[in-house]
Structure 1
Amino acid sequence: MPAETRALPFPGDGRVAVVTGASSGIGAATARRLAADGFSVVLGARRMDRLTELAGEIGGRAVELDVTDADSVAALVASLDRVDVLVNNAGGAFDAAPVADADLDSWTRSFEVNVLGSVRVTKALLPALRASGAGDVVFVGSTAGLVSYEGGASYTAAKHGVHTLAETLRLELVAEPVRIVEIAPGMVKTDEFALNRTGDAAKAAKVYEGVREPLVADDVADCIAWAVTRPHHVNIDLMVVRPRAQAAQHKVHRES
């Protein structure tokens, strides 16, 4: 149709959004933002105490979910009557070791959560997303999925996997009413990401030391909400978002 008659961006309007890894960080912020935008939010994560509290706060529904477990994913699917948006946010980094010192258990965990978890949930919910007539699959990737760097190759390799997963799925579903969106944040300061990666609070603090205004979870949630509320003929293939202090993966301005 002519551009002047296209529909305006649409809000949630009761559309059902499933957010994985919703108990903290970007996932929790995304659940809050989508609920504020009118979505009916289903929050999935393993830590039900946090999840239940957040669901009560935003009027959402908490579902215990382990994306690495097929039965857990099947139980999520069975509990849903409708799905319009899936935000594949569950993930994380679990070490910062060079390849020469690779911990293969850490590599396995990284791929299980970041890559296979996203595949497992996406595959399970695709029928419902297709049936919605205007489905969205959002992958929360990382600039680590676009540019490699020393240390923590288990994470960069996994996020490269998420990036190619999004690209491939977009090609495969081009004739169907499902958008594939990838949001790739750079440096985001959350309570748990760097701590889980380093295992040490002091080392985690060093990651952000001297960086003026790193991104926070709400910044990424804002990007996700914007992408899924565009008119459905508009697909945000890939959005790279960094703090202004981070010009590139290796170029970060730190104030003394």
Structure 2
Amino acid sequence: MTQSTQQPIALVTGASAGFGRAISERFLRDGYRVIAAARRMAPLQELQRRHGDALLPIQLDVRDAQAVAAVKQSLPEAWRAIDVLVNNAGLALGTEKAQEADFQNWQTMIDTNITGLTLMTHAFLPGMVARKRGLVINIGSVAGKYPYPGGNVYGATKAFVAQFSRNLRADLAGTGVRVTDVQPGLVGETEFSLVRYKGDQERTAAMYAGAHPLRPEDIAETVAWVASLPPHVNVNAIEVMPTSQSFTALTVTRDE
């Protein structure tokens, strides 16, 4: 079925699984056309088989500046007026303390969570400003606000997302373009912890056992609500935790 060019368009990174897949499917249900971008093409092609011409799969590593530029230039004309950019692609690697961490893990998190997000924003934000409408939704984390042992660089990258989102709001005043930082807490049923623990199924399962974490669909619902608001409403940031997750006391170390 040919889709009307009047339908809004969402571009979602990291769309092959987890948040990105759930967000893509929710936008499709809401009548959007979706550009689903991810490094793995097979899951995106499966999504396209299910949803047809309403979904455009794009193989993309957001860390690659040339690839991001190529995607921007190669989008079909009917798909270029992006209404919502969801910067979802991101990851955590390891929970070692800073003094024990693998620097390559740090570099990969910085390249993906910071560089990738800024490359996508830099590529697609000017078009929104020119059209005087649009919404950038950055997927941050409560880790960007609340520190925890082993969260070192991951938390720092998400703190960057929070401040970058606020600074975008300052720059975009008067343009009609909105920005929201969505900050999830503990979420299960994704590949997040499996990636973080390098495929350790037992350790991943222990993270969520009995915790009743959020699900990807909960974050997709949050994103859909933000996108559904009228153009004069901007949600600067929204923090979402499962009921089972809360705050801990500040640590005090004492002499033996």
Q: In structure 2, how many angstroms separate the alpha carbons of the residues matched to 1:48 and 1:118?
A: 20
Match of 2:207 in 1: 207
SS at match of 1:90: coil
- The alignment status of 1:78 with 2:106, answered yes or no, reads no
Q: 1:249 to 1:52 in 2, by over 3 A?
A: farther
**Native 8 Å contact 1:95 1:106 kept in 2:** yes
**Native 8 Å contact 1:18 1:44 kept in 2:** yes
**Match for 2:58: what amino acid?**
V
Q: C-alpha displacement at 1:131, in angstroms?
A: 2.8
Match of 2:24 in 1: 31
- The alignment status of 1:21 with 2:20, answered yes or no, reads no
* Identity score, percent: 38
- Per the normalisation by structure 2, the TM-score is 0.89
**Native 8 Å contact 2:143 2:151 kept in 1:** no
Which runs of 5 or more structure 1 residues have no equivalent in the other structure?
Answer: 1-12, 252-256
Which runs of 5 or more structure 2 residues have no equivalent in the other structure?
Answer: 1-5, 251-256
Q: 1:250 to 1:226 in 2, by over 3 A?
A: farther
SS at match of 2:86: strand
Q: C-alpha displacement at 1:250, in angstroms?
A: 7.5
Q: What are the within-5 Å matches in structure 2 for residues 69-218 of structure 1? A: 69-80=64-75, 81-199=80-198, 200-211=200-211, 213-218=212-217
Q: C-alpha displacement at 1:161, in angstroms?
A: 1.2
**Match for 1:82: what amino acid?**
A
Q: In structure 1, how many angstroms separate the alpha carbons of the residues matched to 2:11 and 2:158?
A: 21
**Native 8 Å contact 1:130 1:176 kept in 2:** yes
SS at match of 1:220: helix
**Native 8 Å contact 2:133 2:175 kept in 1:** no
SS at match of 2:246: strand
Aligned length: 239
Q: C-alpha displacement at 1:163, in angstroms?
A: 1.1
**Match for 1:205: what amino acid?**
A
Q: C-alpha displacement at 1:133, in angstroms?
A: 2.4
- The alignment status of 1:47 with 2:40, answered yes or no, reads yes
Q: In structure 2, how many angstroms separate the alpha carbons of the residues matched to 1:56 and 1:248?
A: 43
Q: C-alpha displacement at 1:249, in angstroms?
A: 6.6
SS at match of 1:246: coil
Cα RMSD between the aligned structures?
A: 1.7
Q: C-alpha displacement at 1:66, in angstroms?
A: 0.6
